[in-house]
Structure 1
Amino acid sequence: MQGGQPLSALSTPREAIRQFTPNWFAATMGTGILALALGQLPGNLPLLWQLGKALWLFNIVLFVAFTLLYAARWVLFFNEARQVFGHSTVSMFFGTIPMGLATLINGLIQYGLPAWGHVAVAWAQALWWLDVAMALSCGVLIPFMMFTRQDHRIDQMTAVWLLPVVAAEVAAASGGVLAPHLGDACAQFTLLITSYVLWACSVPVALSILVILILRLALHKLPHESMAASSWLSLGPIGTGALGMLLMGADAPAIFAAHGLAEVGAVAAGIGVIAGLLFWGLGLWWMLLALLITARYARTGIPFNLGWWGFTFPLGVYAVATLKLGALLQLAFFDALGVVLVLALVAMWLLVAAKTTTGAYRGNLFVSPCIAGRDVQPVAG
């Protein structure tokens, strides 16, 4: 997670570029999932749908701006930028880039398709394959660097380890959104099969990390308060795992039937609902635990940093999975709880967005831990 430095320390705009890190893309994840959730609330209220669309358009601007800033850092400060690969925390945030992009892709289907027609689907399909490539790269290369280049200790482990791994299952869930809108049956089948493989590349690995994390917490207790938001990150792969199975299972009957595999599609649909429910139940346990942990941290105060965006995306994807269960099972409980979770997400997003805007204006959040030890001392944002 990042701290910051006073605005006066940022002598030029180049210094903000020099200190820019992938952590900022976590803001596009939180903003994107809120935009999607607002458009999926029960009742299909036009005002909320329009608000969600506006937020999605804003998130596009945000993502493009962050991409340009980070690309500029690699061009202008290459030797410092590449130090990120050796950093045991900041390197994990490479996973936030494809996950932030996935929210834009889903928005192309949810908001772009009604407004722009099939061109939105074409853009979504092209960007989805790019997202897949980035997600798989993060999910394989970052763990490889953990094993070969970086220094890690079990007592310093946090749920940040999940970020590069979870990107693949976020892409899988996005594939579940996109697949039924493709015009070609072969393209649908290829995309759906790829999504199942992505889910398998991510969820079992994420669950393995969660097992280690529980052991770490039991042996070494809670991490430093600057990492408080990381307690919510574990909800991310669980909620996304549930949502992915629900979405892919909903697509499976028609897509498999078009290839003479109707029986497989029916089984996949059933597995999607059951697996979605099971993961949702696990997510409920972790969400309650995260609430208790956050309350414990709040007693002594939680310093603000970009890691606070970790409060938003996991809660948002769990809320969307809850709403999806409500729509599939026609149970008012899931609808009502989904609305409550989205309201909580709105409140948290407003808080974190306001603090981020203030910190960015003051320069407090522009610091790269990879080089901070050499020339600046990070402080809480």
Structure 2
Amino acid sequence: MNAVLEAPAVRAYFGPNWFAAVMGTGIVANAAATVPLHLPGLRLAATFVWALAAALLLALSTAWAVHLRRHRATALGYAADPVMAQFWGAPPMAAMTVGGGALLLGRDWLGTDLAVAVASVLWLAGTVGGLVTAVAIPYLMMTRHEIGPDAAFGGWLMPVVPPMVSAANGALLVPYLPPGQLRLDLVLAGYALFGISLFATVVIVTQLWARLVRHRVGPARMVPTLWIVLGPLGQSITAAHLLGSAAAGVLPAPYGTGAQVFALFYGLPAFGFAMLWLALAATITLRTHRSSGGGVPFTLAWWSFVFPVGTLVTGATGLAARSHAHVIAALAVVLYVVLVAAWATTAIRTTHALGSDLRHSG
């Protein structure tokens, strides 16, 4: 567990959790595309951030291809580690985050046709990869990993969240498909993917809550992973909203209307629980920072402060658009400011740690 959560060592240690940096960078861009914050130049700045996320995805994917070829045994060993294995969910989500950004922002530069092509390829790759992790990692946990009674942590959600990202991004693709059966199939598949992730999330969050109550928070380096819980919550609100919009004119009556109703009346309770968890996670993080001598030590787990908050922004934005609630719209803006601050802080610390690692290993 220590190896996963300590500061990065690029040459000796290169795990799939590095793709969380792509997820975090991409969600900053994607959230800016819809947040009710109208600032001059915001969309242009967001498009540059999306391009940065796309470049990071390309660079990490290339590095991983080389890494797998040269260190196959080490790379495959990540699946045998009960902690590192969870982060195999990050690469599929990273791909789909960039793909969603291609539709929301990248089409300004790429043109609609190329943006749709990029988004479709990344959605397909991410969906297949996410379904594999959603089955394979729990299977390994049930049959091979040694799991202690106090082992549950937020990272257990990582392999089961990708199908929820697939549901949301698939809904974004629906308007670009030709009218007819293909649109219907994609909407129905989106709801099935939604269910895969939602019910797995309920099971895991229940176990995490029980572990926190019975065994307390644990080491300071683990605290950032509590924020991962916000990811499936915010992403599910986002997915329900986007699927509801996609279902209009695609699902026959009365199911199209039902999808719209579900988007609001699922989203509001889920957002309420997300706010509860946000308060708990923030309070525990602040308490840990004050009580531990050096605060919360920097690790790659700090990216858990970024992507999950970004999904709350997109979820709140969708709810605000549906309900016309000014309070929720204001919360979306506040959360976006928090998101940008968390991303900037984590990106700077990651860059500093990476440079330090390269100097020491060189």
Question: Aligning the two structures, in what range does the TM-score lie when normalised by the shorter sequence?
Answer: over 0.9
- More divergent stretch after superposition (101-110 vs 16-25): 16-25
1:262 & 1:72 partners in 2: Cα distance? 51
Match of 1:363 among 345, 350, 357: 357
Name the residue aligned to 1:212: 207
1:170 is displaced (CA, Å) by 1.2
Name the residue aligned to 2:256: 265
1:114 & 1:189 partners in 2: Cα distance? 27
Name the residue aligned to 1:334: 328
1:4 & 1:312 partners in 2: Cα distance? 17
Name the residue aligned to 2:126: 131
Name the residue aligned to 2:311: 317
Say yes or no: does 1:142 pair with 2:142. Answer: no
1:46 & 1:277 partners in 2: Cα distance? 30
May I ask how many residue pairs the two structures share in their alignment? 354
Say yes or no: does 1:221 pair with 2:216. Answer: yes
1:327 is displaced (CA, Å) by 1.5
Distance of aligned partners of 1:185 and 1:237 in 2 relative to their CA distance in 1, 3 Å threshold = same
2:180 & 2:24 partners in 1: Cα distance? 33
8 Å CA contact 2:20, 2:90 repeated in 1: yes
Match of 2:286 among 261, 279, 295: 295
Name the residue aligned to 1:246: 241
2:148 & 2:13 partners in 1: Cα distance? 26
Name the residue aligned to 1:120: 115
Aligned pairs (5 A) from 1:66-77: 66-77=60-71
2:184 & 2:360 partners in 1: Cα distance? 44
Match of 2:347 among 353, 357, 360: 353
8 Å CA contact 2:7, 2:298 repeated in 1: no
1:119 is displaced (CA, Å) by 2.5
Name the residue aligned to 2:177: 182
The aligned amino acid for 1:266 is: T
- More divergent stretch after superposition (170-179 vs 39-48): 39-48
8 Å CA contact 1:5, 1:366 repeated in 2: no
Say yes or no: does 1:199 pair with 2:194. Answer: yes
Which one has more relative contact order, counting CA pairs under 8 Å at least 6 apart? 1
Which consecutive unaligned segments of at least 5 residues does structure 2 have?
Answer: none
1:43 & 1:32 partners in 2: Cα distance? 18
8 Å CA contact 2:95, 2:125 repeated in 1: no
8 Å CA contact 1:102, 1:171 repeated in 2: yes
1:267 is displaced (CA, Å) by 1.1
The aligned amino acid for 2:349 is: K
1:181 is displaced (CA, Å) by 2.4
Match of 1:173 among 168, 177, 192: 168
Q: Equivalent residue of 2:150, what SS?
A: helix
The aligned amino acid for 1:72 is: V
* TM value normalised by structure 2: 0.94
1:282 & 1:237 partners in 2: Cα distance? 12
C-alpha offsets along residues 216-264 of structure 1, whole Å, 9 cap, x if unaligned? 11110002111110111111111111111111011112111xxxx1211
Distance of aligned partners of 1:4 and 1:331 in 2 relative to their CA distance in 1, 3 Å threshold = closer
Name the residue aligned to 1:232: 227
1:44 is displaced (CA, Å) by 4.2
1:46 is displaced (CA, Å) by 4.4
1:156 is displaced (CA, Å) by 2.4
8 Å CA contact 2:8, 2:299 repeated in 1: no
8 Å CA contact 1:59, 1:104 repeated in 2: yes
Match of 1:3 among 6, 10, 33: 6
8 Å CA contact 1:121, 1:182 repeated in 2: no
1:363 is displaced (CA, Å) by 1.0
Distance of aligned partners of 1:306 and 1:364 in 2 relative to their CA distance in 1, 3 Å threshold = farther
1:117 & 1:29 partners in 2: Cα distance? 23
2:155 & 2:133 partners in 1: Cα distance? 13
4+ aligned runs moved over 6 Å, structure 1: 364-367
Q: Equivalent residue of 1:304, what SS?
A: coil
Say yes or no: does 1:305 pair with 2:299. Answer: yes
The aligned amino acid for 2:238 is: L
The aligned amino acid for 1:117 is: T
8 Å CA contact 1:19, 1:366 repeated in 2: no
1:284 & 1:5 partners in 2: Cα distance? 31
Name the residue aligned to 1:92: 86
Say yes or no: does 1:286 pair with 2:281. Answer: no
Distance of aligned partners of 1:96 and 1:265 in 2 relative to their CA distance in 1, 3 Å threshold = same
1:93 is displaced (CA, Å) by 0.4
Distance of aligned partners of 1:281 and 1:5 in 2 relative to their CA distance in 1, 3 Å threshold = closer
8 Å CA contact 1:17, 1:70 repeated in 2: no
2:132 & 2:12 partners in 1: Cα distance? 24
Distance of aligned partners of 1:366 and 1:175 in 2 relative to their CA distance in 1, 3 Å threshold = farther
C-alpha offsets along residues 263-282 of structure 1, whole Å, 9 cap, x if unaligned? 11111111111111121111
Q: Equivalent residue of 2:308, what SS?
A: helix
Say yes or no: does 1:22 pair with 2:16. Answer: yes
Q: Equivalent residue of 1:262, what SS?
A: coil
Which consecutive unaligned segments of at least 5 residues does structure 1 have?
Answer: 7-15, 368-381
1:344 is displaced (CA, Å) by 0.6
2:359 & 2:146 partners in 1: Cα distance? 25
1:169 is displaced (CA, Å) by 0.7
Name the residue aligned to 2:45: 51
